[in-house]
C-alpha cells in the first residue's frame, strides 16, 4: 500500500465514517457533533467509550444488512478502556464487546485519543500521523471496504 492510499483512506470525507476510522470537518459534521453532544447532555445518547455506547452501536448495527460476500473484522482497543470489534459477514453487521479472534485491522489508542476521536475533536489522520492511533493488520482491507465503512459510519453518526 502506498502512503497516499493510506492518507486518502484516513482523510476527511463528505460522509460521517466509523468512530476511530475518520472524521469529516464540514458544517454537517459540526451540526451532527453538536446534536450528539446535546443529546448526551440530555441523557438520550450514551457517553462514548462506555459499555452503553458499545451496546447502542450493536443495536444500530443489528438493524442493518449488507451484501453477502462482504467480510471484514475491525477491532478497537483503548488503553485503560474498552475493547470491541465490528464484524461484517453473511450479510450482517455486528458490534461485539471484547477482542476479535482474527481482525483484519486493529486500531489502538489511549483513552484521551480515543475519546477525542469519538467526539469528533481529533481527526484520526492527525492521530495516525502523530503516532497516537496505531493500526495493526492490513490497511488495504480498509481501502477495499471503503464504501461499506462510509455506510456503517453513517449508521453510527449520533452515537
* pLDDT (mean) for 22-41: 42
Residue linked to cell 488503553: 79
Residue 109 has pLDDT above 60, yes or no: yes
Mean pLDDT check: name the lowest of 7-11, 56-60, 68-72: 7-11
Which pLDDT score is estimated for 151? Answer: 84
As a whole number, the mean pLDDT across the chain is 80
pTM of the predicted model as reported, rounded to 2 decimal places: 0.74
Q: Is the dihedral of CA 7, 122, 20, 76 positive or negative?
A: positive
> What is the per-residue pLDDT for 106?
98
- Residue bearing the bigger pLDDT, 49 or 22: 49
pLDDT at 14: 40
Task: Parse the chain into domains and list their residue ranges.
Answer: 3-53+101-155
- Quote the longest CA-to-CA distance of the chain: 44
Measured between alpha carbons, how far is residue 126 from residues 9, 121, 159 in Å? 13, 11, 21
Helix-helix angle 146-155:51-62, to 10 degrees = 110
Per-residue cell: 48: 462514548
Using a 10 angstrom Cβ sphere, with 0-12 exposed, 13-18 middle and 19 or more buried, the burial of residue 83 is middle
Amino acid at each position: 500500500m502506498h502512503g497516499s492510499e493510506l492518507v486518502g483512506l484516513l482523510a476527511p470525507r463528505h460522509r460521517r465514517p466509523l468512530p476511530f476510522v475518520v472524521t469529516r470537518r464540514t458544517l454537517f459534521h459540526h451540526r451532527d457533533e453538536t446534536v450528539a453532544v446535546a443529546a448526551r447532555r440530555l441523557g438520550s445518547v450514551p457517553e462514548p467509550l462506555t459499555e452503553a455506547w458499545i451496546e447502542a452501536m450493536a443495536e444500530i448495527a443489528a438493524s442493518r444488512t449488507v451484501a453477502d460476500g462482504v467480510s471484514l473484522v475491525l477491532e478497537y482497543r483503548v488503553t485503560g478502556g474498552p475493547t470491541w470489534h465490528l464484524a461484517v459477514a453473511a450479510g450482517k453487521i455486528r458490534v461485539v464487546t471484547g477482542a476479535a479472534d482474527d481482525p483484519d485491522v486493529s486500531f489502538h489508542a489511549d483513552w484521551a485519543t480515543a475519546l477525542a476521536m469519538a467526539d469528533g475533536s481529533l481527526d484520526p489522520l492527525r492521530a495516525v500521523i502523530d503516532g497516537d492511533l496505531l493500526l495493526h493488520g492490513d490497511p488495504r482491507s480498509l481501502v477495499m471496504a471503503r464504501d461499506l465503512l462510509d455506510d456503517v459510519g453513517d449508521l453510527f453518526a449520533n452515537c
